[in-house]
Structure 1
């Protein structure tokens, strides 16, 4: 019977993307970029989102692809609105990839490729001429352009992971796996941003699984702070939870509180030496891929 630490190690390894998945994602990213360059002439692209931050979990689905344009591509900035620019991207994707229907979203256009099942959320980004590396992206709900910097998001994630001795990214992936089983009541990026802060108060005991303790700590921290305002990591755009409905936040808080109680019970069993009992609770929380034998 494995210890809790051994089960967590095996579970975390199962969440990692395979080398083949990474290779295919990067190949398709170049494929999409080259197709869009023929139509709309973006200057460069950035793999952003959870894939860019290395917090994506298997199976890999949608990848955020920043397409960077110069501001001149939309005139002075007032001539083309956010929805019109997204519609231009949607049209270009459907013209390049005949037979595929792209989907207009709030800040991106989604297109999925059969076979691999990998899709891309294509985000058109306009570099601010006064602030290199800072970008304006469309927000249809706001009816305006908002600022973003995906490279700053990657830096914030990497810095928090370094403070946690490289354990934060695996923990984020495990919490995303839990959230997926719950029907994703909490947006993944909000979970990540809360984790960047929550990990700073984590002080593990020496004789218990560090990952198990980290999960329990982060679940409790998130349940206590999900109602707080969570600034966007680059300090540019609206708060991360600004577009999340109150119903979702309340549901997320309830689910996180329930998971915290189970996680703390699992730690009690591990502390008492009952590894099978502890592992069974973690399996309830994290699903059938969590090994108990």
Structure 2
């Protein structure tokens, strides 16, 4: 709780023009919501592991459990995908915009990046941005987030997980990034993705750009 309070105080100091309601303290992160742009940024506190440079411990403020991770390594993982695919960043932003508007809160930002990276690895980067975003939604809807996702960067030792959704942290294979997603939440995410895919598919078939606002909100801008 003291760590959460410290983060809260620091955020208020860093963003003095933002109201208190714009901050949300979660189990492992603090979310800063920028109302004007609709952007949400997760801030994750990590306690440095002196024995392993670059790595640190991430604590759960509710049960006190901890996992090891490497923030800079995770950033590099995402950067590598951006370098591989010029549309990766745009696709991730679209996915996060959909997540926020649909209020699919259990699906965290890093999990979205990892799912998008998995879709890139398995389906490639061919097709329009609209098609590829539909592929992202369709993957979630069809696979149901029931298959374990891992990456070439994952190395031993590997963890054994019984969680409803398992996406390995690409920089630490003993960490399941989605361990907090319950079975009920998994079903909610899958149902939301199915609904979104149907809407996006209809928008494409009818060539109706306005329908996309049903996914991203009335403020979403589309090209004429």
TM-score, normalised to structure 1's length? 0.55
Matching residue of 2:153: none
Give the whole-Å Cα distance in 1 for the aligned partners of 2:181 and 2:100. 17
Distance 1:235 1:109 in 2: 22
In 2, the alpha carbon distance for the partners of 1:126 and 1:154 equals 17
Counterpart contact for 1:259–1:285, Cα < 8 Å: yes
**Corresponding position: 1:283 with 2:213:** yes
Q: Is 1:257 equivalent to 2:176 in the alignment?
A: no
Structure 1 match to 2:126: 204
State the shift of 1:287 in Å: 2.7
Residue deviations 1:106-140, cap 9 Å, x none?
Answer: 23567899xxx999866443322221111112222
Q: Secondary structure at the match of 2:46?
A: strand
The alpha-carbon deviation at position 188 of structure 1 amounts to 2.6
- Mapped partners of 1:136, 1:153: distance in 2: 14
Deviations 1:256-287 (A, max 9, x none): 01222232333334xxxxxxx33133233233
Matched ranges for 1:47-126 at <5 A: 83=1, 86=3, 89=6, 93=10, 105-108=26-29, 123-126=44-47
2:135 aligned residue (209, 217, 220): 217
Corresponding residue of 1:147 = 68
Superimposed CA distance per residue, residues 122-162 of structure 1 (whole angstroms, 9 cap, x where no aligned partner): 64433222211111122223423321111111111111222
Q: Is the 8 A contact 2:42 2:109 kept in 1?
A: no
Q: Is the 8 A contact 1:135 1:148 kept in 2?
A: yes
Find out whether 1:238 has 2:166 as its counterpart. Answer: no
State the alpha-carbon separation in 1 of the partners of residues 83 and 195 from structure 2. 29
SS, match of residue 66 in structure 2: strand
Instruction: Give yes or no for contact 1:216–1:260 (8 Å, CA) kept in 2.
Output: yes
Unmatched runs of 5 consecutive residues or more in structure 1: 1-82, 270-276
Say which one has the larger Rg.
1
Partner residue in 1 for 2:91:
171
Shift of 1:104: 5.5
Deviation of 1:175 after TM superposition, in Å, equals 1.3
Q: Is the 8 A contact 2:104 2:192 kept in 1?
A: no
Write 1 or 2 for the structure with the bigger share of helix. 1
User: How many residues matched?
Assistant: 196
Shift of the alpha carbon at 1:187?
2.4
How many Å apart are 1:227 and its aligned residue? Answer: 3.2
| SS at 1:143 equivalent | coil
Q: Which has the higher contact order (CA 8 A, sep 6+)?
A: 1
Q: Cα deviations across residues 225-266 of structure 1 (Å, max 9, x unaligned)?
A: 423311123225631211012222111101101222232333
Q: Is the 8 A contact 1:202 1:217 kept in 2?
A: no
Q: Give the superposed CA RMSD.
A: 3.7
1:227 aligns with 146
User: What's the CA shift for 1:292?
Assistant: 6.0
